Amino acid sequence: MHRRHYHDRSDAGRVLAAALAGYRGRPGLVVVGLARGGVPVAAEVAEALGAPLDLAVVRKLGVPGHEELAMGAISADHTVVDEALMRSQGVSAAALDEVIERERRELARRSALYRGGRPATDLTGRTVILVDDGLATGATMQVAVRDARSAGAAAVIVAVPTAPRRAAREFASLVDDFVCPYTPEPFRAVGMSYGRFGQVDDDELLAALRRNDATGP
């Protein structure tokens, strides 16, 4: 049975920041939180490391009828699909297309709201720490890694407070470093590592970004 390892996302962010302390002061460092749940975690990391904060707008592709089960993920530029899981769940290509179209509309809405017309940070030649509140399938993080690589990042680090132990192996060939302080086994769900794990709404995300704008470098 899981012990509730973190009080909430802010607590997890502070613990994660301590594990990333070696990156403080690195030239060109930027912290990127995966919207929405990763942004409050990333805000704590960015503040502790003295780095600017940006966000990655990505969406999970949930299995129809079992939306919490990810069969892939999308960003504005990349799509990752677990075809084996699709087959095991009986998801047709047409059903996948419907999910992708719906999530693309939500991506566009969130990007417009969160960025407010501001361009994304230029990642060319920078060290990018990608932060989420945890990994389960890892699909959304895989998309974020692809985006960062395509944007010209010199180094990509994945940092999450909690994940299954297999995640480090799965990301080993994709990233330059993988940091995760808590890897319970058996791993059942990200939220089981938290005492409080409610949905992060748009207002909370925007408040975290504004707070970093006010206090960041």
Q: What is the pLDDT of residues 152-208, one digit of tens each?
A: 999 999 999 999 999 999 999 999 999 999 999 999 899 999 999 999 999 999 998
> ∠ CA(48), CA(16), CA(155), 5° rounding?
80
pLDDT band at 216 (very low <50, low <70, confident <90, very high): low
Residue keyed to tokens 């079992």: 66
Residue type, 170: E
Q: What is the pLDDT of residues 71-119, one digit of tens each?
A: 999 999 999 999 999 999 999 999 999 999 999 999 999 999 998 888 8
Q: How many residues does the chain have?
A: 217
Q: What is the pLDDT of residues 13-58, one digit of tens each?
A: 999 999 999 999 999 999 999 999 999 999 999 999 999 999 999 9
In this structure, the dihedral spanned by the alpha carbons of residues 13, 162, 159 and 117, taken in order and rounded to 10 degrees, is -60
Query: What per-residue confidence (pLDDT) applies to 203?
Result: 93
Predicted confidence (pLDDT) at residue 3 exceeds the cutoff of 70? no
Predicted confidence (pLDDT) at residue 137 exceeds the cutoff of 50? yes
pLDDT band at 212 (very low <50, low <70, confident <90, very high): confident
If DSSP codes are grouped into helix, strand and coil, which group holds residue 159?
strand
**DSSP-assigned beta bridge partners for residue 73:** 60, 80
Work out the burial of residue 127: count CB atoms within 10 Å of its CB; fewer than 13 is exposed, 13-18 middle, 19 or more buried: buried
d(Cα 117, Cα 173) in Å, to the nearest integer? 34
Residue 25 per-residue DSSP state: T
> ∠ CA(167), CA(172), CA(174), 5° rounding?
105
d(Cα 74, Cα 107) in Å, to the nearest integer? 9
What is the reported pTM?
A: 0.93
Architecture of the 9-57+120-215 domain: 3-Layer(aba) Sandwich (3.40)
